[in-house]
Structure 1
Amino acid sequence: MAASGRGLRRALRASPLPAWRQAHLGARGNLKPEYDAVVIGAGHNGLVAAAYLQRLGVNTVVFERRHVIGGAAVTEEIIPGFKFSRASYLLSLLRPQIYTDLELKKHGLKLHLRNPHSFTPMWEEGTEGKVPRSLLLGTDMAENQKQIAQFSQKDAQASPWEPSFPSITRSLRHPLPRYVLLHHVMGSLEGMPGAWGYVQGGMGAISDAIANSATAHGANIFTEKTVAKVQVSSGGCVQGVVLQDGTEVRSKVVLSNASPQITFLKLTPQEWLPEEFVGRISQLDTQSPVTKINVAVDKLPNFLAAPNAPGDQPLPHHQCSIHLNCEDTCLLHQAFEDAMDGLHSHRPIIEFCIPSSLDPTLAPPGCHVVSLFTQYTPYTLAGGKGWEEQEKNAYADKVFDCIEAYAPGFKGSVVGRDILTPPDLERIFGLPGGNIFHCAMSLDQLYFARPLPLHSSYRSPVPGLYLCGSGAHPGGGVMGAAGRNAAHVVFGDLKSM
C-alpha cells in the first residue's frame, strides 16, 4: 500500500530539519565544558525553561537521553509513513503568555481547532435497523440542546452552561477527580476558552517550535546525551552534571525536567538530601490506569451511529474526541473494578481521536492515524505478572473488539499498532508508574504541596538544583507553566548570587 512506497520514504527522508536541529548542526554540536545553566530533559517544560533563561541572558544547555526532543509531547514515525503523537495528543493548556513570549507561531507552530469537540456514539441493541443514537457537542448551544434532548429534555432545557454536563457526558467524568476535570477545561487556544486542538505535524511540532525559539537566542540542545548524575560540591551546592559517557559539564544551576523520583532518587547524591525528604519523594502517588495505543489504518472508521459520506471524506464527528464504552456509570465502575483485581478492563473506556482528519500531513493519502487513550489497566497484572507481549496484544485485541462493535470494519483497516502500557510509558518517557503528570494530581500533591509541602518553589534541598517539570507546580499537561515559573525563580536566584 501507499505507506510502504519507495517514493514516500524518499520524501519523508528529505523533509526539512527543524530550525533547532539545523542550529545544532551548524555549531557542529560542540559541547562546551561550562554553561550558566544545565537543563536535564528536553520535554516541553525543560525546553520552555531553557528558552526563557536564554532570552534572559543565561547561557543554557539542554541534555535529552532519547533521540528525539519533546518528552511526552513528541511525534514519532512508528509505522513507515504514519506520524504519531505517541504520548500526549491534544493541545489546550499551553499558557498564552508562553505562546506570545516565545513567538511560537513565528517558530513554526500551526494549530487545527476542533469544532465540534465531543462525539459519543451509543452501542444499542434491538434498534430494528435504526441508526443508533449519538451525542455530538460543539460550540453551537442550540445544536447542543437538540443533541442532549435525545437523552434528557430536562438537561436540554437547562441554562446554556449546564448542557455541557448532561447525564450522558457526566458518566465520562466518573470517577475522575474534580480538580483533574478543572485542570483539563481551564485552557484555551487562540483566544477560545476551553478549546482543544491538534498540532500540525503532531505534538512534536510544539516541542520543535519551543526549541526553535530557544536556539534562536543561543541555547544548545543535545539529544542522545544521558545525564547520569548531578554534581554537588564539597560545600553542598550544585556544580554541574556528569553524562553517562563520563563527560563532566559544569554549571551554576541545574534544572531537572525529569520526575521528582528520578531527580532526587536516581540523579542526586543521596548524602546531600534530608532522609525525610527522600522518604517522602519515594512515597509519592504515581498510580496510573492508562494504556495508550497508536494505530495506523488504511481507511476512515465508519461508525454505525454516524455512517461515512460517499468518498470516505472526514465528517465533523471524525475530528472530535470520540468516547466509547461510557454509556453509563456502571460500565465505568466495572472497568475500574477489573483493574483493581489486577485485570485489564473487559470493556475499557476508550477516548478515540483521529488527528489526520484535520491534518493530512500525518498519514499517506486515504490513510489515517488513530490515537486511543484507554483505561483501566493496572501497572502489574494479577499475581504480580508483568505485561508480556501476549498480555499486551490480548488487551489491544479487546480494545479493537470494542471499537468494532461501534465501527464495523475497523479491525480490518488496521495497518499496524503501538501499544504503550503503564510500564512502557514509564520506560520510554520516564513517567513514573506511567503517570502522565509525574505524580497524581490529588489535593495532597497540588499547589504548595507539589511535589511536597515546603518544596513547591521549584527549589530543592540542594542549592542550585531545581525542578521544572510536571512534578512541580502547577502539574501536568502540555502547559509549560512549570518550565516558565522555574526559569524566573532561577533567574532571580542567579542575580542574587
Structure 2
Amino acid sequence: MDDEQFDVIVIGAGHNGLTAANYLAMGGLKVCVLEQRHIVGGAVVSEEFHPGYRNSIASYVVSLLRPEVVEELELKKYGYQPIPLNNSFYPDSKGEYLLLTGDEDHDRQQYEKFSETDYDTTQAFDAVIEKVGEVIASQWLKEPPKLYGGGISDLISIAKLELDLYKLDNESRWRFLQFFIGAPDSIIERWFDSDKVKAIIAAHCMPANYASLHHPGASLAMLHHSVGELDGKKGAWGIAKGGMGAITQAMAASVRDKGVVIRTEAPVKKILTEEGAAVGVLLNSGETIGAKIVAANTDPNRTFLTLLGEDQLPESFAKDIKAFRQESASLRMNLALSGLPEFACIPGKEVGEHHRSSITIIESKEHLEQAYRSARAGIPANPPVIEAIIPSTIDDSLTDKDGTHVMSLLCKYIPYDLAGEANWDEQREKTAQDILEHLTKFIPNLPDILVAYQCLTPLDLERMFGMTRGDICHGRLEPDQLFSARPHPDAAQYATPVKGLYLCGSGAHPGGGVTGAPGRNAAKRILKDV
C-alpha cells in the first residue's frame, strides 16, 4: 500500500457503516470511513430536493433503531430528536377510511364501521405479534450461531434461543411457526373478518417485501417491522426532526469525536487482497488505502461480486451469492407542496389527525396481490399501493415558508426490470405521473399545490445509494435468507471466506431497516478477532 494505513476501512457511510465505525473506534482501532456520495448517511439522509423543501429522500420513518445504539453512541447529545407519529390513516377510493389515534373508544368506533369483531381481534393479534416479536428482537444484537462447524458458544446461542421459544405459551409457539414459514393470506383469513381490515394487515407485509401474499415465509417482513420502539414505547413509529439524515449526522459527529476519518466523494472501485486476505481498497480515483481489515457496508452482491470479484471466492460460495435474492420493487417520491393536502374523505383546510399519520392507500388485499403480479411481469403497478407521511405537519423545519409541506411516498410494487424494451430513464416520468394521477383521487387539490417532485425508481436507488436492484434491505427478508443463513452460512457471523473482510450492512443479520444492529454486531465480532 502506498498511502495511509488504517486498522479498519469501512466502505459506505450509511447508518450501519457509521455505527460500526463508532464501536470500532471505541475499541481503540484507527478507522477510515469511505463514502461515494457528497454526504454521509447512505439511504438514511436528509436533502433539499427542491429549493426551500427538505426531506428524508429514501428511508423516512424510525422505529427499529436499537435503543442500545442510541444510548451508547449518545445520538441525542449529537442532535437526534425522534418525533412520534401516533396516528394511522387508511383511506380508499370509495370515500371510506379508518383513522386510528390510539384512543380506545375512538379506534373501536372506527373499526365498527367495517366489523363488529375486528377491533378485539386486532388487539389479540397485536398481542401475539408482540410476544413472538420479543423472541425475534432478542436475537438482533447477537451474532447468529453457525449453521455448521460451530463450537461451544454456538451451542449456547442455540440453547438460549430454544429456551426463549420454550418460554412462549403453546399458542404463541404455534403462531411463531406460522409467521416464520406461513403465507400472509392464510394468516389474514384466519384472523380477520372485514375486507378493509384484511387490506390493512396485508399492507403491513409490504414495505420491505416483494412476494405474493400466498408465498410461504412472506409474513416474516411484517414481523421484522413490528418489533421496534421509540423512546421506550414498544411498537411505536416516528420521524427524526430535520429528517432521517439527523440520525446519520449525529452518528458522524459522534464518530468524528472519536478520531475516525470520514471521506466523502471517495467511491471504492475494488477491495484489494494479498495471499487471500483483504489488505485495503482501490478508489475510483486510483488512490489506494491500506488496512488490516475491510468492513463492507455494501450489499452482499456488490461486496462479493463487484468490489471483491468472483475469482477471490470459493466457487460454491460465489454461486450462492449470485442466487441471493435482492429486490424490493420500491419506488420513492418526495413531493414539494405549496399548501396542505386536502383529503376527499375528510374535508378541511386545517391540519388534522389524518395529516399527522402514517397514511396507507390500499383498496384490498387483492390490490396488493395484483400489484405484485404486475411487477413480476415487468409492469409498474398502476395503481400501486402507497405508504405516505406528511412529516412537515409535525416538523416545520423541513420547509422554508409557513404553510408549505413535504410529502413522502413509498410505492409498491415497482419492478427493477421492465418488460420488453422499456427502460427506467424513459419510463420514469410516465410512472410518476400515473402515481400522481392516482393520488389526486384521494387529494383533489394536489395539482393545485404540487410545486415539484423527486421520483426515485429502483434503478435510481441503485445508482444513488449503490443498492443492488434498488433493494432497500440489501436482500429479501425470507426464511432462507435470515439469521444463520444471511447472506450465507459462511458469512453469517460477519466474517467472510476472505480473511480480514467483514460485512457490516443490512445484508447481514438481522437484516434491513434502520436498526444499527448489523453495524454494532459486526464491530463486536471484529474487535473479538483482532
Do the structures match in fold with TM over 0.5?
Answer: yes
The 1:254/1:303 distance shift into structure 2, 3 A limit, reads same
Question: Could you tell me whether the CA contact under 8 Å between 1:237 and 1:463 is conserved in 2?
Answer: yes
Structure 1 residue runs of 5 or longer lacking an equivalent are: 1-30, 125-131
> By how many angstroms is 1:62 displaced?
0.2
Question: Could you tell me whether the CA contact under 8 Å between 1:155 and 1:162 is conserved in 2?
Answer: no
Deviation digits for residues 287-310 of structure 1 (CA, Å, limit 9, x no counterpart): 22211111111111101112224x
Cα distance in 2 for residues equivalent to 1:57 and 1:36: 10
1:331 matched residue in structure 2:
367
Deviation digits for residues 308-348 of structure 1 (CA, Å, limit 9, x no counterpart): 24xx3x22111211111x13122222222322332222221
1:44 matched residue in structure 2:
15
1:370 matched residue in structure 2:
407
Question: Could you tell me whether the CA contact under 8 Å between 1:141 and 1:160 is conserved in 2?
Answer: no
2:434 paired with 1:406:
no
Deviation digits for residues 65-99 of structure 1 (CA, Å, limit 9, x no counterpart): 11011111011112111112111000000011101
- Which secondary structure does the structure 2 equivalent of 1:78 belong to? strand
Q: 2:75 aligns with which of 104, 107, 124?
A: 104
The 1:32/1:272 distance shift into structure 2, 3 A limit, reads closer
Deviation digits for residues 122-152 of structure 1 (CA, Å, limit 9, x no counterpart): 322xxxxxxx331112322332211101100
Q: 2:28 aligns with which of 57, 60, 80?
A: 57
1:10 matched residue in structure 2:
none
Cα distance in 1 for residues equivalent to 2:304 and 2:448: 47
2:300 matched residue in structure 1:
260
Deviation digits for residues 210-262 of structure 1 (CA, Å, limit 9, x no counterpart): 111111111111100111221212x3222211222222211111100011111
2:522 paired with 1:486:
yes
> By how many angstroms is 1:269 displaced?
4.4
Question: Could you tell me whether the CA contact under 8 Å between 1:232 and 1:269 is conserved in 2?
Answer: no
1:22-171 correspondence runs (5 A): 33-116=4-87, 118-124=88-94, 132-158=95-121, 160-162=123-125, 166-171=197-202
Amino acid at match of 1:151: F
- Which secondary structure does the structure 1 equivalent of 2:424 belong to? coil
Deviation digits for residues 426-485 of structure 1 (CA, Å, limit 9, x no counterpart): 111111111101111111111000001232010111110000001011101000000000
2:178 paired with 1:208:
no
The 1:173/1:108 distance shift into structure 2, 3 A limit, reads closer
Amino acid at match of 2:475: C
1:8 matched residue in structure 2:
none
Question: Could you tell me whether the CA contact under 8 Å between 1:144 and 1:163 is conserved in 2?
Answer: no
Question: Could you tell me whether the CA contact under 8 Å between 2:333 and 2:453 is conserved in 1?
Answer: yes
Cα distance in 1 for residues equivalent to 2:514 and 2:355: 23
Cα distance in 1 for residues equivalent to 2:125 and 2:478: 25
- Which secondary structure does the structure 2 equivalent of 1:336 belong to? helix
TM-score for both structures, normalised by structure 1? 0.87
Cα distance in 2 for residues equivalent to 1:227 and 1:337: 37
Amino acid at match of 1:371: S
Cα distance in 2 for residues equivalent to 1:145 and 1:201: 34
Question: Could you tell me whether the CA contact under 8 Å between 1:350 and 1:372 is conserved in 2?
Answer: yes
Cα distance in 2 for residues equivalent to 1:454 and 1:287: 22
- Which secondary structure does the structure 2 equivalent of 1:406 belong to? coil
Structure 2 residue runs of 5 or longer lacking an equivalent are: 128-191, 206-211
Question: Could you tell me whether the CA contact under 8 Å between 1:145 and 1:163 is conserved in 2?
Answer: no
Structure of greater relative contact order (alpha carbons < 8 Å, 6+ residues apart): 2
Question: Could you tell me whether the CA contact under 8 Å between 1:238 and 1:464 is conserved in 2?
Answer: yes
1:423 matched residue in structure 2:
459
Identical pairs, percent: 41
2:379 matched residue in structure 1:
343
> By how many angstroms is 1:45 displaced?
0.2
**After the TM superposition, which segments of 4 or more aligned residues of structure 1 sit over 6 Å from their partners?**
none
Q: Structure 1 residues 146-155 or 340-349, which shifts more?
A: 340-349
Q: 2:357 aligns with which of 320, 330, 333?
A: 320
Cα distance in 2 for residues equivalent to 1:211 and 1:194: 27
1:158-307 correspondence runs (5 A): 158=121, 160-162=123-125, 166-173=197-204, 175=212, 177-233=218-274, 235-307=275-347
Question: Could you tell me whether the CA contact under 8 Å between 2:7 and 2:293 is conserved in 1?
Answer: yes
Question: Could you tell me whether the CA contact under 8 Å between 2:3 and 2:290 is conserved in 1?
Answer: no
Q: 2:348 aligns with which of 300, 308, 318?
A: 308
Cα distance in 2 for residues equivalent to 1:159 and 1:71: 36
> By how many angstroms is 1:272 displaced?
2.7
RMSD over aligned CA atoms reads 1.7
Question: Could you tell me whether the CA contact under 8 Å between 2:7 and 2:30 is conserved in 1?
Answer: yes
2:425 matched residue in structure 1:
388
The 1:162/1:459 distance shift into structure 2, 3 A limit, reads closer
Amino acid at match of 1:481: A
- Aligned residue pairs, count: 450
